[in-house]
Structure 1
């Protein structure tokens, strides 16, 4: 399994020692590549959490996304569910160059077999490793929370039940503002710019 992990996470050796170099804002990918940002939202003592993921192209244009409510026992479990749902939701893109970013360093470490996996999360980590093997050119990377603001906003709005089911067709203004801030090359203009 280690060989497989190194295939889909080529940047893993730099993820842990160079944390101070992580981008503070969303960074676009190179031409002909895509970025997935995922996040989960969970309140302590809850029995469910909300998950979200978005797919953007090299200049930051929003191409697709998902949200969901999942059974959860912790923030980590919710983040793992976001990862699993992203790998399922975006499977049609599995042959493209993809960077999947999460603000959970622990998940990245667990996927690389460098972090302790509790028994309650072992099955989800194993399932994620299996699903990652179906993607031919994917890197799973850690990003700062500030570089994951759009996915974070979507997950929180879903948890608060304030996100309309048609959010991808008509973006809520706060999400539009975040996407424009992240990707000025996409041509979108926020009300504040």
Structure 2
């Protein structure tokens, strides 16, 4: 085994791949000790995900020629004095049950609030449209909860972002919605007409990693109830990749 690992690390693969492989070996060693001394199991897919996220985080803050992180695939924070709500849907296709989630952040990149819930959808696009609708409903409740508290956030502009271009274009009238999604699209338009300072925005999938991770984790039942106040390690790494101030410990 040691000879195989040594040969692999010194083979012709890229430095990026070697770093991920070495990181994965370290995580496997840690998982083995956790099982041995604490009796807690680790899952291979989570170890791989953590190794990839950790390497991306290292490359972002220690840039090299091989770095895969660029401005084009990084979450863009909202303007000062405004908020951004990223929403996403996890739809597997095996049955109609899926999950939608949203994460709300300010200009400093720190998570302010969010949501995750189960829904039913006939297709991925309908699921994504439902995620936008649930995001609007959540924003309405979020603002209502702040009403009367003299909290300035009740009037803050909010950008609601989704990585589903078809759903966004349908809601904004750039294309005709399908007959199945039409009632949801009309509901979204009605809510947008009733709410001020809400702007819809399409963003590439790679900039929507946090909402995607939350939706998938909620669907598998692995999302802790305190994920907003205490983000799990994988989500914390994503937040750090998205914006540096989320990683700065309080002084």
Q: TM-score range by the shorter chain?
A: 0.7 to 0.9
Query: Of 132, 137, 142, which aligns to 2:202?
Result: 142
Of structures 1 and 2, the one scoring higher in RCO (CA 8 A, sep 6+) is 1
Contact 2:74 2:241 in 1 (8 A): no
Q: Distance in 1 between matches of 2:243 and 2:208?
A: 13
Contact 1:94 1:135 in 2 (8 A): no
Q: Distance in 2 between matches of 1:161 and 1:71?
A: 16
Contact 2:214 2:223 in 1 (8 A): yes
Query: Of 31, 45, 54, which aligns to 2:94?
Result: 45
Contact 1:94 1:134 in 2 (8 A): no
TM-score (norm 2): 0.63
Residue matched to 1:110: 170
Contact 1:38 1:101 in 2 (8 A): yes
Q: Does 1:67 align with 2:127?
A: no
Q: Which moved more, 1:27-36 or 1:132-141?
A: 132-141
SS at structure 1 position matched to 2:198: strand
CA RMSD in angstroms comes to 1.6
Query: Of 228, 231, 243, which aligns to 1:168?
Result: 228
How far the C-alpha of 1:128 sits from its partner, in A, is 0.6
What do residues 93-117 of structure 1 show as CA deviations (whole Å, max 9, x unaligned)?
A: 5632111110000111101212221
Equivalent residues, number:
168
User: Which protein has the larger Cα radius of gyration, Structure 1 or Structure 2?
Assistant: 2
What do residues 133-171 of structure 1 show as CA deviations (whole Å, max 9, x unaligned)?
A: 232112111101110000000011111111122222321
Q: Distance in 2 between matches of 1:39 and 1:76?
A: 11
Residue matched to 1:10: none
Residue matched to 1:9: none
State the 4+ residue runs in structure 1 displaced beyond 6 angstroms: none
Q: Distance in 1 between matches of 2:180 and 2:123?
A: 10
What do residues 71-114 of structure 1 show as CA deviations (whole Å, max 9, x unaligned)?
A: 11111111111111111112205632111110000111101212
Q: Distance in 1 between matches of 2:73 and 2:234?
A: 19
| Aligned positions of 1:76-155 closer than 5 A | 76-91=125-140, 92=143, 95-155=155-215
Residue matched to 2:149: none
Q: Distance in 1 between matches of 2:221 and 2:194?
A: 33
SS at structure 2 position matched to 1:114: coil
**Greater share of helix:** 2
Q: Distance in 2 between matches of 1:30 and 1:23?
A: 18
Structure 1 alignment gaps of length 5 or more = 1-21
**Greater share of strand:** 1
Residue matched to 1:188: 248
